[in-house]
Amino acid sequence: MRSQDTFLTMTDSWLQRLLTWTPGQTDIIKTVALVLMVTDHTGLLLAGNNEVMRLLGRGCFPLFGLVWGMNLARHRDIRQSQLNPLWCWALLAQGSFILIGYPWYMGNILFTFAVTGQAMRWFSLRTRNGILLAIAIVVAWLPLSTDSYGLAGMFMLINSYRLCRATEPVERTGYAVLWAVMVLLMNPSDALQSVAGLAIAVLVVAVCADTGKQVKRFWPADFFVLFYVVHLAVLGILAG
């Protein structure tokens, strides 16, 4: 029993160190995720779906998911004012998503963030209508989410939020395990991509959590969603 307690304590200490970021470190992690995202999309659209670039790109969504969860977890409750801009950016990004070749009815990845956050907010109201709305929006989204990681992507985001809010060692370790499982399940048809996504995300967070503590925040608030919209449009034009 004592050895189990020691292992849990060591694991929890490691997780807390990994998940304690300054604003500058957060921007560093987002920048790495952005580079991985561009690598993935460039490989898909301009390099014949290059396998190495595809593997590197598997790490971007888990990293953005952790950052998103961290941002939401800073507040006691999920606020609608946090979600409304995301809905607007997701709608705007859909044009670029179509431009790179996806069907108009398939939602881009920003909708995964928006739908998940909205469902979590409605569910947190603990009312019958709120719970029904949360279930309804998830059910409505699932057929449209096959190109945006589907249900596994949503649960990865939920566990990112819960992991960042956890206060007890058992709770934090449990959500970390669930987060890792969801990352692996996001690429169920390719085990190498699944492992690469998890390994790259953990490695990036481990390195960035130990560096750049003196770096100040250097990106504007909406830079990354704007970049997502613009870079898809540019790649779509180049690929066309």
**pLDDT for residue 4:** 64
The pLDDT tens digits for 140-188 are 999 999 999 999 999 999 999 999 999 999 999 999 999 999 999 999 9
Q: How many domains does the chain have?
A: 1
- If you average pLDDT over residues 96-119, what whole number do you get? 96
**Which residues neighbour 197 within 8 Å (Cβ) at sequence distance 6 or greater?**
58, 59, 61, 62, 183, 184, 186, 187
The pair of structure tokens assigned to 235 is 């790649």
Whole-angstrom distance, CA of residue 122 vs CA of residue 120: 6
**pLDDT for residue 7:** 82
Q: Where are the alpha helices (DSSP H) in 19-168?
A: 23-46, 51-57, 60-73, 80-99, 109-124, 128-141, 150-165
Would you mind telling me the total number of residues written for the chain in this entry?
240
**pLDDT for residue 1:** 56
Whole-angstrom distance, CA of residue 156 vs CA of residue 30: 17
pLDDT band at 75 (very low <50, low <70, confident <90, very high): confident
C-beta of residue 160 within 8 angstroms of C-beta of residue 117: no
**pLDDT for residue 179:** 98
**pLDDT for residue 8:** 84
The pair of structure tokens assigned to 9 is 């304590």
Look at residue 119 and tell me whether its pLDDT is greater than 90: yes
Report the share of the chain in percent with pLDDT over 70.
Answer: 98
Look at residue 3 and tell me whether its pLDDT is greater than 80: no
**pLDDT for residue 2:** 64
The single-letter DSSP state of residue 200 is H
The overall average pLDDT reported for the chain is 94
The pair of structure tokens assigned to 68 is 């998103």
Name the residue with higher pLDDT: 3 or 221: 221
Domain that holds residue 222: 2-239
Helix (H, G, I), strand (E, B) or coil at 111: helix
